[in-house]
Structure 1
Amino acid sequence: MTQPDIAPNKPPKRKRLSSEARRQDFINQAIEFFAEEGFESSTRGLAKKLGVTQPLLYRYFPSKNNLISEVYDAVYVKRWQPEWEPLLRDRSRPLADRLNTFYKVYTDAIFNREWMRIFLFSGLKGVDINRRYMQLVRQRILEPILIEARVEFGLPDVPPKHCEVEFVWVTHGGIFYYGVRDLIYESAISTDKDRVIADAITALMAGLEIKLNGPKQT
């Protein structure tokens, strides 16, 4: 008795994506790729990871820089929350209270392994993601903090000086580097992020009062 032919198992057909859905899928996988491999990796390597040809990838992204810009938009711009800036300017609350709340929600957004690795890789390879993001931070976080501090201390409303911006960068950068030590190096001493932030803000407020008021007259 002959056995009936049994069709071999066929791999399930890949769901056909719309052009926009496929483009977004490429961006999502590019984020993972650059976070692991860095920006020196070629689009050929990315296309291989995606399981597509390099010419197909170039149909969606005309150049590697174009793709990197899309990664920047997805990882940094789209994670920027519109409520952060009004929070910093809410003068119904003490500035220290606002800053503690802000940095808690801000770090919830950026303390992400892919976010951190892409930021560090881009700095090492001269990709302008860092410069673009740091300009955003200066305009939307650091300078507003200085403006609000002057109001709280009853000082004249004048544009922040470069040295004052650098002063606030020290605190902002310290909070950021705590995330690097935690997520990248896995060597953070404390696991209490809120306590780390609170201590940093206490030091910042005390320092700003001296920095903005100038040395005490004797």
Structure 2
Amino acid sequence: MSFTQDRISKNSATVEVAEAPAPARRRMSTTERKRQILDRAIQYFAKHGIDGQLRNLTKGLGVTHTLLYHYFPTKDALIKAVYEDVFESRWKPEWELLLDDKTLSPEEKLNAFYIDYSNTVLTYDFVRILIFSGLSDHSISDRFFELLRDRLLPRLIRETRKHCGRSLRSKPSQRELEFLMGLHGGIFYIGMRRWIYGQAIYDAGNPNTEQEIIQDRISSYLHSAKILFTTGKK
């Protein structure tokens, strides 16, 4: 083969490679596209809040109004989907079974529950979206606190009363509920320090630090409850 023929041959190969068609992009299914929009909405709401105009939302999500409306006809429908994904889906029925377990002491139950609860719930998106909702229309925060009132707080009050040796029959008093929310809010504050204020937990290099903080708060709560609620006061 001559030098010229060799160059022609190589050039032809180069042209063939250059002209080879790019692989076709796989078209997303309806389920995948809806999931992608929901994931972007969760990220957007966690960073910017939920009290914004739709044009800013669609721009932030990188989708058109038409596409967003196709999957979520209203902003309320999108917020409902975010609530179900970030809040409702993380609720574990095992927590209720744990708190109803008669073989464990109240302190064992509260420790096991709150350690797993904090690991499951106190994430960037959960904490920030809950706070943003409380600062705007309460559409998410009200639903979440209703979940707590229905499925969690009565069980925690019951276990507190067991620890104090009190009757379990009467309806929880406002004083008991507020005292319990001091514990619950104190544990939620661990997430607020991290995801709202950007503050590191003390001794963050110790993997057991958060667990120890939770155990200390539960021990203090139960000790104080015994003093406050065994004197006959409501």
The normalised TM-score by structure 2 is 0.83
Match of residue 55 from structure 1: 66
After the TM superposition, which of the residue ranges 70-79 and 122-131 deviates more from structure 2?
Answer: 122-131
Match of residue 105 from structure 2: 94
**1:88-139, CA deviations, whole angstroms, 9 ceiling, x for partnerless residues?**
1212111111111111100001121111111111111123211111121222
**1:38-65, CA deviations, whole angstroms, 9 ceiling, x for partnerless residues?**
1123333333344432112101111111
- After TM superposition, give the deviation of residue 8 of structure 1 in Å: 9.0
Match of residue 180 from structure 2: 168
Q: Determine which of 178, 181, 184 is the counterpart of 2:193.
A: 181
Match of residue 128 from structure 1: 139
Determine what percentage of the aligned residue pairs are the same residue.
36
Give the distance between the partners of 1:37 and 1:9, measured in 2 at CA. 41
Give the distance between the partners of 1:138 and 1:132, measured in 2 at CA. 10
Give the distance between the partners of 2:203 and 2:225, measured in 1 at CA. 25
- Supply the AA of the counterpart residue of 2:100: R
Matched, 1:196 2:213: yes
After the TM superposition, which of the residue ranges 70-79 and 121-130 deviates more from structure 2?
Answer: 121-130
Give the distance between the partners of 1:13 and 1:43, measured in 2 at CA. 32
User: Which residues of structure 2 form unaligned runs of 5+?
Assistant: 1-6
Matched, 1:210 2:227: yes
Q: How does 1:1-12 map to 2 (within 5 A)?
A: 6-7=18-19
User: Which residues of structure 1 form unaligned runs of 5+?
Assistant: none
Contact 1:164/1:211 (CA < 8 Å) preserved in 2? Answer: no
How many residues of Structure 1 are paired with residues of Structure 2 in the alignment? 215
Gap change, CA 1:147 and 1:16, over 3 Å in 2: same
For the residue of structure 2 that corresponds to 1:126, the secondary structure is coil
The normalised TM-score by structure 1 is 0.88
- Supply the AA of the counterpart residue of 2:71: Y
Match of residue 39 from structure 2: 28
Q: Which has the larger radius of gyration?
A: 2
Give the distance between the partners of 1:82 and 1:134, measured in 2 at CA. 17
Contact 2:106/2:162 (CA < 8 Å) preserved in 1? Answer: no
Contact 1:34/1:41 (CA < 8 Å) preserved in 2? Answer: no
